[in-house]
């Protein structure tokens, strides 16, 4: 095959494929343009999943009538002036690619007026084919309407998810920008419904409440630190609030939302052992760093950045989180001194090594420790843990206990796991393991494929909902799943 030069409109569509992945990407680019233009009011109106229509209006600087056609040309931007600017980018946009890319895969109309001009101008572009700019009445600012997204790239349309999913991506985009620009009024309408209306907030904390809701925002504490020319600030969840996904991790570099492994790692490291494995905190982190210290030109959707001194950034972020969590833990009000009797804490456990309970009546409370019901007054063998005196609780997850040998700190999560494990082990010894069938059986394979020919099948299961049913084979030690099968 000979080499050919691709036609210009193919090139535009290939470029658009990287920039405009889905309707939310259009919203992101248009809102970024509005923010770069200094807008104080940004309104996003979406129809359907966004592929039928997205309209973004702002009250920013606007585009001069004679520049309007240029704004739709590839590599045309007002945000870079000389080559050195490329290495100290202060704006969200810089490549002059977003508008032409969007226009090459949609039917786009832009209307804009600067404050100095009396009349505005309008331009329509369909699948990259530009019409003529014409005078038009317009308030100061810019409105871009994008209709029939991907009308000329049906393959791309097929990759779109359900309207609800696409809409939720759009909400996420607006929310992320809103968190970083509290002083800007954001509004998102879907058809006749207003999904978000975040009036300009006097304090960043007010914006947190608007975007994350009172429950999550209420659990966040402010933090901040500087290191050299860097500053790290924002809000973080103090233990024990944690989440099973990283969706409440919002990280910004010079107010640009980024997904960055270094920052994520630094945040998690800052939490040290306060988080269980697989749990994530809620953190809104703003890193302010000299523009020349970060390269933002590394990702087509501008979601990733590269730091010149990544270990310094990592250390600054981890230390900011670590020290603020420590200060938070020491702050008055965080340590709850519990009245032992009032709280009803009674530590009960078998003397080590975890012998079977001598009498059925003296089993530990069903919910285990701490604060199980009906546990007072029962006679159980004394062990180290039962001799402890609970003084208080710190960070909502550690028990501070006094003992004849000194002070003991107990990780409540770990203690609870251990108690659950011991309970299962006891039930196992007594052949009374509580079981419930899995809806979809899990097959566990053991040994190499060649050994399976001589392997014996085993399974442990019970009727759904049946309790304490004796299995024909004993439950393999160490396996605490509720229904298992495999080969031995
Ligand atoms: N809402 C707006 N208000 C004022 N000017 C705008 C607006 N949208 C676009 N422009 C102008 O049009 C130019 C081209 O916009 P476009 O988004 O294509 O590129 P960019 O923002 O410079 O870079 P990027 O491709 O990284 O977004 C901008 O540089 C800006 O001058
Ligand atoms: Mg832009």
Is the preceding omega at residue 353 within 30 degrees of 0, hence cis? Answer: yes
Query: What domains sit in the chain, N to C, each tagged with a CATH number?
Result: 8-202 (3.30.565.10), 219-330 (3.30.230.10), 335-430 (3.30.1540), 435-488 (no CATH)
CA of 24 to the centre of ligand 2 (A): 14
Asked if 485 contacts 457 with a C-beta cutoff of 8 angstroms, the reply is yes
For residue 91, the ligand 1 atom closest to its alpha carbon is 21
Q: Which residues line ligand 1 (CB under 6 A)?
A: 29, 33-34, 37, 58, 60-63, 71, 76-79, 93-99, 142
From first to last of the 488 residues of the chain, give the pLDDT tens digit: 899 999 888 888 888 888 899 999 999 999 999 999 999 999 999 999 999 999 999 999 999 999 999 999 999 999 999 888 989 999 999 999 999 999 999 999 999 999 999 999 999 999 999 999 999 999 999 999 999 999 999 988 889 999 999 999 999 999 999 999 999 999 999 999 999 999 999 999 999 999 999 989 998 999 999 999 999 999 999 866 788 889 899 999 999 999 999 999 999 999 987 888 888 999 999 999 999 999 998 888 899 999 999 999 999 999 999 999 988 777 665 444 444 444 444 455 544 443 333 434 433 433 333 333 334 444 445 677 777 888 888 877 788 888 777 888 888 878 888 888 888 888 888 887 777 777 777 676 665 444 444 455 555 544 433 333 444 444 444 444 445 555 55
Backbone angles phi, psi at 19, to 5 degrees: -85, -40
Q: Do the bridges between strand 185-190 and strand 41-47 make them parallel or antiparallel, or are there none, so unpaired?
A: parallel
Tokens at 58, concatenated: 């702002």
Which ligand is located closest to the Cα atom of residue 101? 1
pLDDT at 486: 58
- The best mutation among 20, 25, 33, 121 to test binding of ligand 1, ranked by most ligand atoms within 8 Å of the C-beta, falls on 33
What are residue 145's DSSP bridge partners?
55, 109
Looking at ligand 1, which residue's alpha carbon is closest to its atom 19? 96
pLDDT at 332: 62
CA of 29 to the centre of ligand 1 (A): 9
> DSSP secondary-structure letter at 159?
T
pLDDT at 407: 84
CA of 199 to the centre of ligand 2 (A): 24
**Angle ∠(153,158,162) on CA atoms, nearest 5:** 130
Asked if 482 contacts 435 with a C-beta cutoff of 8 angstroms, the reply is yes
- Closest C-alpha to 95, from 75, 81, 110: 75
Asked if 16 contacts 105 with a C-beta cutoff of 8 angstroms, the reply is yes
Is the preceding omega at residue 280 within 30 degrees of 0, hence cis? Answer: no
Backbone angles phi, psi at 311, to 5 degrees: -70, -35
Rounded-to-integer distance, Cα 401 and Cα 119, Å:
75
pLDDT at 397: 76
CA of 96 to the centre of ligand 2 (A): 6
Asked if 12 contacts 101 with a C-beta cutoff of 8 angstroms, the reply is yes
Tokens at 78, concatenated: 């007002």
Interhelix angle 163-180/204-218, nearest 10 degrees:
120
| Token pair 């960070």: residue | 395
Rounded-to-integer distance, Cα 456 and Cα 486, Å:
8
Residue-wise burial string across 347-371, b where 16 or more C-beta atoms lie within 10 A, e elsewhere:
bbbbeeeeeebeeeeebbbeebbbe
- The best mutation among 99, 111, 112, 303 to test binding of ligand 1, ranked by most ligand atoms within 8 Å of the C-beta, falls on 99
Tokens at 430, concatenated: 């007594």
CA of 95 to the centre of ligand 1 (A): 9
Which ligand is located closest to the Cα atom of residue 142? 1
| Token pair 């302010």: residue | 288
- Closest C-alpha to 116, from 57, 58, 62: 62
Tokens at 481, concatenated: 């799943």
pLDDT at 322: 94
For residue 142, the ligand 1 atom closest to its alpha carbon is 1
pLDDT at 468: 39
CA of 99 to the centre of ligand 2 (A): 7
């Amino acid at each position: 095959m000979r080499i050919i030069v691709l036609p210009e409109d193919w090139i535009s569509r290939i470029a658009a494929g990287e920039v405009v992945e889905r309707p939310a990407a259009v919203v992101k680019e248009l809102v970024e343009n509005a923010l770069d233009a200094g807008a104080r009011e940004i309104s996003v109106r979406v129809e359907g999943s966004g592929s039928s229509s997205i309209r973004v209006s702002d009250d920013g600087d606007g585009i001069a009538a004679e520049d309007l056609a240029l704004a739709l040309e590839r590599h045309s931007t007002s945000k870079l002036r000389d080559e050195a600017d490329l290495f100290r980018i202060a704006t969200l946009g810089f490549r002059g690619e977003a508008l032409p890319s969007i226009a090459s895969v949609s039917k786009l109309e832009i209307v804009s007026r600067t404050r100095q001009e009396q009349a505005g101008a309008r331009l329509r572009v369909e699948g990259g084919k530009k019409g003529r700019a014409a005078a038009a009445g317009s308030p100061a600012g810019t409105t871009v309407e994008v209709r029939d997204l991907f009308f000329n790239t049906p393959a791309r349309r097929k990759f779109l998810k359900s309207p609800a999913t696409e809409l939720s991506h759009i909400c996420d985009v607006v929310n992320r920008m809103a968190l970083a620009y509290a002083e800007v009024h954001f509004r998102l309408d879907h058809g006749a419904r207003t999904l978000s209306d975040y009036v300009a907030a006097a304090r960043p904390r007010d914006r947190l409440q608007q975007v994350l809701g009172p429950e999550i925002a209420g659990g966040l504490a402010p933090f901040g630190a500087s290191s050299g020319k860097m500053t790290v600030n924002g809000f973080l969840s103090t233990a024990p609030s944690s989440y099973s996904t990283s969706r409440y991790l919002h990280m910004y570099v010079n107010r640009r939302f980024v997904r960055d492994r270094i920052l994520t790692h630094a945040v998690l490291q800052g939490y040290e052992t306060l988080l269980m494995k697989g749990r994530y905190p809620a953190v809104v982190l703003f890193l302010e760093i000299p523009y020349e210290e970060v390269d933002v030109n590394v990702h087509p959707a501008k979601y990733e950045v590269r730091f010149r001194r990544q270990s310094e950034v990592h250390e600054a972020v981890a230390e900011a989180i670590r020290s603020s969590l420590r200060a938070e833990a020491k702050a008055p009000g965080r340590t709850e001194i519990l009245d032992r009797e009032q709280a009803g804490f009674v530590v009960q456990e078998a003397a080590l090594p975890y012998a079977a309970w001598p009498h059925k009546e003296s089993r530990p409370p069903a919910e285990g420790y701490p604060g199980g019901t009906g546990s007072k007054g029962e006679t159980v063998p004394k062990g180290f843990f039962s001799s402890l005196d609970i003084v208080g609780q710190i960070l909502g997850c550690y028990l501070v206990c006094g003992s004849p040998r000194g002070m003991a700190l107990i990780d409540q999560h770990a203690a609870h796991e251990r108690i659950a494990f011991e309970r299962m082990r006891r039930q196992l010894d007594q052949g009374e393991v509580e079981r419930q069938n899995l809806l979809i059986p899990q097959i566990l394979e053991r040994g190499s494929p060649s050994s399976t020919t001589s392997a014996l099948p085993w399974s442990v299961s019970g009727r759904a909902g049946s309790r304490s049913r004796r299995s024909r084979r004993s439950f393999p030690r160490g396996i605490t799943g509720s229904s298992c099968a495999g080969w031995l």
